[in-house]
Amino acid sequence: MDLIEQNKEHFDKAIEYLKHEISSLRTGRATPALVEDIVVEAYGSRQPLKAVASISVADAKTINVDPWDKSVTQAVETAIRNSQLGISPVNDGKLIRLPLPELTHERRQELVKVLHQKLEAARVSIRKLREDVRKEIDNKEKAKEIGEDDKYGLQDELEKMVKEYNEKIKLVGEEKEKEITTV
């Protein structure tokens, strides 16, 4: 029964990765997660925005980006403008303000579609993990480390765990979809 517990960490990581992925989906409320991973060309290399600037929320509809080195301000502004967020940065020379426009109904529907794609990707990774654990169980049986009864017991426990994690994915998705569609 220890085999299932050993692999539980991988399932948890899949859920954490999903949460990180969907945190950047816009919900109409300003959050640093929207822009912190935008790639900026600075100092001859590509870095995430959070590595070259401080990001703060001024109010519910505005994000402030304050580059630590003012020589990269233009690069930061360009990276934000070229990102797929659809935000027009306002540069006052030392601070870049990002006023978030209202989400249209169509844009909300697009975000829901992207959310569903990310949820499906998470379910696929859970299924892949399940297959890996099944192979491990089969290998242990072939090596005579466990008996046939233990094999089926482990597989049943694995199925219960997969069902539990699929339910977690569903709940995370429903919560995020509610955030996106709430005006």
**Mean pLDDT value of segment 78-86:** 80
Out of 99, 114, 136, pick the residue that ends a domain: 99
pLDDT given at position 146 = 84
Q: Over 90: is that where the pLDDT of 163 sits?
A: yes
Same domain flag for 72 and 113: no
Out of 99, 122, 151, pick the residue that ends a domain: 99
Number of domains comprising the chain: 2
pLDDT given at position 130 = 93
Average pLDDT across the chain, whole number = 85
Q: Over 90: is that where the pLDDT of 160 sits?
A: yes
Same domain flag for 119 and 176: yes
Q: What is the DSSP string of 32-88?
A: GGGTTT-EEEETTEEEEGGGTEEEEEEETTEEEEEESSGGGHHHHHHHHHHSTT---
CATH of the domain at 129: 1.10.132.20
Alpha carbons within 13 angstroms on the beta-carbon side of residue 115 total 26
Out of 99, 134, 149, pick the residue that ends a domain: 99
Helix, strand, coil in percent for the chain, rounding step 5:
60, 15, 25
Q: Over 80: is that where the pLDDT of 68 sits?
A: yes
Same domain flag for 39 and 85: yes
Confidence bin at 26 (pLDDT 50/70/90): low
Confidence (pTM) = 0.70
pLDDT, tens only, 97-138: 888 877 788 878 888 888 899 899 999 999 999 999 999 988
CATH of the domain at 68: 3.30.1360.40
pLDDT given at position 161 = 92
Same domain flag for 77 and 93: yes
The parent domain of residue 89 ranges over: 32-99
Query: In this structure, what is the dihedral angle of CA atoms 113, 116, 117, 121, given to the nearest 10 degrees?
Result: 170
pLDDT given at position 121 = 92
Same domain flag for 170 and 120: yes
